[in-house]
């Protein structure tokens, strides 16, 4: 009986163990089946997952980048960017470099074109080196109303025979004024000098462009000199070595009158001796524009001064009656008569 029970128990244990092993075997086999199924599924799902990931990356990355607002292109007609002040450049942080670069990226297509140089004026084209050595100089703007456009530096006038007549010092003038001066020298002064047996050889420039009031009076109206539209001349040199001083009374009157006629026919304003106290030693020419084209020609051509000043009494002629001698207590009265007599004798000389 005891053996049967032991055998039964051993058989039971064996059956139980076999059953557990069987169960375990089934579980292992099921796990393998599932793993194989998963591998099969993985082969088909993995590409889908990768594709989905790429789609998500595109949607959130590239698509979002498309939505970042970019600066609008700078219009062509926009004014040129003002350069920031030096201190701003120094204190500006380095961070904004990237947006700045993005903003200036289209610069090659949108940069404002540089202002083109103005076309040369008709005067500039006409005032060739066959007429004058007169290079253009930059326009002058200010101070105040001073300055002008289309300026030249008149260095010399070229005569028809090719000789150069230097303007000393060179005169800064508007082109139109320089051209008129050149014409005056080439025609009128050449004819005048020819009558004196010579040719012009130099112009004594007393003043050209200068920012000042009329006659250098503070607060006066702006002189034509301040507009580079006037020239003051003291003298004209001839190749013979003679210097014709335009306001010198000892120069032949005919020569000075010839100059007067020539300049008053050309220039809008001529001021010389007798016009005011500012033009006794030079003559002023300008091309002032006035209403109705009014012109001013005020230059008194003086005669040479007399050798004897007219205010001095003439010498008493020998045939004159003797003076009444002063005598007695009325001497003082006699002195007065003598003085009156001398005054009467001097009167014809005034
Ligand atoms: Zn002047």
Q: What is the span of the domain harbouring residue 196?
A: 122-298
Rounded distance from Cα 226 to ligand 1 centre (Å): 10
Is 55 part of a structural domain of the chain? no
Instruction: Identify the pLDDT of residue 61.
Output: 44
Rounded distance from Cα 269 to ligand 1 centre (Å): 10
Rounded distance from Cα 224 to ligand 1 centre (Å): 8
Instruction: Identify the pLDDT of residue 84.
Output: 42
Q: Which residues pair with 133 in a beta bridge?
A: 156
Of 213 and 342, more confident: 213
Instruction: Identify the pLDDT of residue 113.
Output: 77
Rounded distance from Cα 30 to ligand 1 centre (Å): 121
Rounded distance from Cα 231 to ligand 1 centre (Å): 6
Residue in this structure with the two tokens 């002629």, named with its chain if needed: 317
Rounded distance from Cα 232 to ligand 1 centre (Å): 5
Average pLDDT, the chain: 75
Is 266 part of a structural domain of the chain? yes
Q: What pLDDT digit, counting tens, does each position of 43-55 carry?
A: 554 555 555 545 4
Instruction: Identify the pLDDT of residue 13.
Output: 58
Is 234 part of a structural domain of the chain? yes
Instruction: Identify the pLDDT of residue 92.
Output: 41
Rounded distance from Cα 289 to ligand 1 centre (Å): 15
Rounded distance from Cα 17 to ligand 1 centre (Å): 137
Q: Residue 332 pLDDT > 70, yes or no?
A: no
Q: Residue 141 pLDDT > 50, yes or no?
A: yes
Contacts with 270 (C-beta within 8 Å, 6 or more apart), sequence order: 260, 263, 264, 283, 284, 285, 296, 297, 298, 299
Rounded distance from Cα 141 to ligand 1 centre (Å): 20
Rounded distance from Cα 233 to ligand 1 centre (Å): 8
Instruction: Identify the pLDDT of residue 132.
Output: 98
Strand 147-148 versus strand 200-207 pairing type? unpaired
Instruction: Identify the pLDDT of residue 183.
Output: 98
Is 325 part of a structural domain of the chain? no
Contacts with 9 (C-beta within 8 Å, 6 or more apart), sequence order: none
Is 333 part of a structural domain of the chain? no
State the pLDDT confidence band at 347, using cuts at 50, 70 and 90.
very low
Is 135 part of a structural domain of the chain? yes
State the pLDDT confidence band at 78, using cuts at 50, 70 and 90.
low
pTM of the predicted model over 0.75: no
Collect residues with CB below 5 Å from ion ligand 1.
Answer: 230, 232, 284
Q: What pLDDT digit, counting tens, does each position of 81-110 carry?
A: 544 444 433 334 434 444 444 444 445 556
Rounded distance from Cα 166 to ligand 1 centre (Å): 19
Is 329 part of a structural domain of the chain? no
Is 54 part of a structural domain of the chain? no
Mean pLDDT, residues 216-236? 92
Rounded distance from Cα 131 to ligand 1 centre (Å): 24
Structurally, how many domains does the chain consist of? 1
Of 142 and 48, more confident: 142
């Amino acid at each position: 009986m005891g053996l049967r029970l032991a055998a039964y128990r051993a058989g039971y244990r064996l059956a139980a163990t076999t059953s557990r092993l069987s169960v375990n075997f089934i579980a292992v086999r099921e796990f393998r089946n599932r793993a194989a199924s998963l591998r099969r599924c993985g082969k088909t799902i993995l590409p889908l997952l990768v594709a989905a990931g790429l789609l998500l990356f595109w949607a959130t990355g590239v698509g979002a980048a498309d939505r970042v607002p970019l600066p609008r292109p700078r219009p062509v007609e926009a004014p040129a960017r003002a350069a920031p002040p030096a201190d701003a450049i120094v204190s500006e942080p380095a961070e904004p470099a990237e947006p700045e670069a993005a903003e200036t990226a289209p610069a090659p297509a949108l940069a404002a074109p540089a202002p083109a140089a103005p076309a040369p004026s008709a005067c500039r084209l006409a005032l060739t080196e066959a007429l004058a050595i007169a290079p253009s100089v930059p326009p002058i703007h200010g101070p105040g109303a001073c300055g002008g456009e289309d300026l030249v530096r008149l260095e010399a006038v070229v005569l028809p025979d090719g000789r150069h007549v230097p303007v000393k010092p060179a005169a800064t003038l508007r082109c139109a004024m320089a051209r008129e001066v050149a014409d005056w020298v080439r025609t009128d002064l050449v004819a005048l000098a020819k009558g004196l047996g010579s040719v012009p050889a130099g112009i004594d420039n007393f003043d050209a462009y200068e920012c000042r009031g009329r006659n250098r009076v503070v607060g006066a109206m702006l002189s034509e000199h301040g507009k580079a539209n006037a020239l003051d001349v003291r003298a004209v040199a001839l190749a013979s070595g003679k210097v014709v001083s335009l306001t010198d009374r000892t120069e032949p009157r005919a020569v000075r009158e010839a100059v007067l006629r020539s300049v008053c026919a050309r220039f809008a304003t001529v001021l010389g001796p007798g016009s005011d106290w500012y033009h006794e030693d030079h003559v002023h020419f300008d091309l002032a524009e006035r209403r109705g084209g009014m012109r001013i020609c005020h230059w008194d051509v003086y005669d040479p001064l007399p050798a004897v000043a007219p205010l001095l009494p003439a010498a008493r002629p020998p045939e004159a009656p003797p003076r009444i001698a002063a005598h007695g207590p009325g001497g003082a009265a006699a002195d007065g008569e003598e003085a009156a007599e001398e005054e009467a004798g001097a009167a014809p000389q005034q």
